[in-house]
Structure 1
Amino acid sequence: MNLIAPESLVFWTTAIFIIFFFLLKKFAWKPILGAVKGREDSINKALMSAEEARREIQNLKADNERILHEARAEREDMLKDAREIKNKIISDAKDEAQKQSHNMIEAAKSAIESEKKSAMIELKNHVAELSLEIAEKVVRGELSNKDKQLELVESLLGKSSLN
């Protein structure tokens, strides 16, 4: 008990489909395509942002490596400079100590020489005094006897010649 004939069913189905298709095309197709296009655009923007962030991270990593390398090189330079300054200070201190010790040695030599001269002068004076004392004692001993005095005078006169 088929009330509708199969040919009319195909006709009506096709007609409803065409009407439904035109209605969808007229009212729903543009908003659906706009939503899909908007979603596609937001996905592309997110992908570009992710790619840009990845590039930025790589640049930051490269900058960090460069800065780290520069910091290490600067630290090495500072350590090298510090070592050179330390060695220069030590060398200068050694030179100054040598100069001071040389000056002290020269001063000591000068003082020793001065003391030596002073001692020699004192010794000469002492020897001269002793010689005079001995000569005085010998002359007194020789001149204490009258016979010896006459003998001495005659001997001196005999030696000296009158011109």
Structure 2
Amino acid sequence: MSFVWESLVITIIAFGILYFLLNKYAFGPLFSVMEQRRELVMNQMSEASQTREQAVAYVEEQKQALANARKEAYDIIEQSKQTSSKQADQLMEQAKVEATRIKEDAVRDIASEKNKAVQELRSELGSVSVKIASKLLEKEISNDNAQEELVDQYLKEVGGRP
């Protein structure tokens, strides 16, 4: 086998022309497409990273919102307990005031009825005393024992002596 220099030179020139043509017409657009593909992949990765960060932030927001809702619910329950306790205390106080008022009214009514009864008893006692005096004068009893028996008899009728 012999080495032919002309073939080598022609091959090198053909390879150079082929490289120049491929570089101008094939490699440029191919590298351009590959660069666009690389940029697309990089953009998609960046968007995926941003979307992941947004998702993490959204999850954190939801956790915070849930914690706030739980706290608000607890606060509402506590406020309801306090309100119901206050209302119960108010109702108890109103009941006490009403009971005191009813008791005072009853005491007044009892005192009024007592005063009426005493007044009636006095008027009745006065009329009985007048009757006794008139009977005493009618009978003209000379004896002190007879007068005392008559007074005792009238007092028994009235209920004053046993």
Question: Any residues of structure 2 matched to 1:58-69 within 5 Å, and which?
Answer: 58-69=56-67
What pairs up with 1:70-149 in 2 under 5 angstroms?
70-142=68-140, 148=142
Distance 1:103 1:65 in 2: 56
Aligned length: 141
TM-score of the pair, normalised by structure 1:
0.79
State the TM-score, normalized to the length of structure 2.
0.79
| Gapped regions of structure 1 (runs ≥ 5) | 149-163
CA distance in 2 between counterparts of 1:26 and 1:84 reads 85
Identity of aligned residues (%): 23
The answer on 1:30 being equivalent to 2:28 is yes
Shift of 1:123: 0.6
Alignment partner of 1:20 is 2:21: no
Q: Identify the residue that residue 51 of structure 2 maps to in structure 1.
A: 53
> For the residues of structure 2 that align with 1:115 and 1:51, how far apart are their CA atoms?
94
Displacement after TM superposition at 1:72 (Å): 1.2
Q: Distance in 1 between matches of 2:3 and 2:25?
A: 31
Alignment partner, residue 160 of structure 1: none
Largest Rg, 1 or 2 = 1
| Cα separation, 1, equivalents of 2:136 and 2:3 | 185
Gaps of 5+ in 2: 143-162
C-alpha separation between the residues in 1 aligned to 2:140 and 2:7? 188
Supply the RMSD in Å over aligned alpha carbons: 1.8
Q: After superposition, give the CA deviation of every residue in 1:67-123 in whole Å (9 maximum; x if it has no partner).
A: 111111111111111111111112111111111111111011001001001101111
Provide the C-alpha distance between the structure 2 equivalents of 1:51 and 1:138, rounded to a whole number of angstroms: 128
User: 1:120 is aligned with what amino acid?
Assistant: V
